């Protein structure tokens, strides 16, 4: 009997990303499935908060297997302790 090989479906990953404004050096923390696409959209001015601080550069990412993990980490990085953590690792 010949076994059929199963095709693997692509594994969906979720990311937390940190952008830095080249205009005024502020930071933006977000999450999603495709951080390169999100960076492109931020730089096109498609998001209310970030459109006034163009252009943006990607400075940090983290990868997670579930959306809930990524959102939880995004919330932490937006907290006081999370901002302190980012200050420490991004310097």
Residue 9 in this model has a pLDDT that exceeds 80: no
| Domains along the chain with CATH numbers | 14-89 (3.40.1440.10)
Q: Is 30 exposed, middle or buried (0-12, 13-18, 19+ CB in 10 A)?
A: buried
Query: Tokens 């951080």 belong to which residue?
Result: 35
Q: Give me the pLDDT at residue 23, please.
A: 96
Residue 73 in this model has a pLDDT that exceeds 70: yes
Specify the pTM. 0.86
Q: Give me the pLDDT at residue 5, please.
A: 58
Q: What is the pLDDT of residues 10-60, one digit of tens each?
A: 789 999 999 999 999 999 999 999 999 999 999 999 999 999 999 999 999
Enumerate residues 6+ apart whose C-beta is below 8 A from 57.
19, 20, 22
């Amino acid at each position: 009997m010949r076994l059929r090989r199963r095709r693997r479906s692509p594994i969906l990953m979720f990311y937390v990303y940190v952008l830095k404004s080249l205009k005024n050096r502020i930071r933006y923390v977000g999450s999603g499935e495709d951080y390169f696409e999100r960076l492109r959209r931020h730089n096109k001015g498609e998001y209310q908060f970030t459109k006034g601080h163009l252009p943006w550069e990607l400075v940090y990412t983290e990868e997670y297997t579930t959306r809930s993990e990524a959102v939880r980490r995004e919330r932490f990085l937006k907290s006081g302790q999370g901002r302190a953590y980012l200050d420490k690792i991004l310097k």
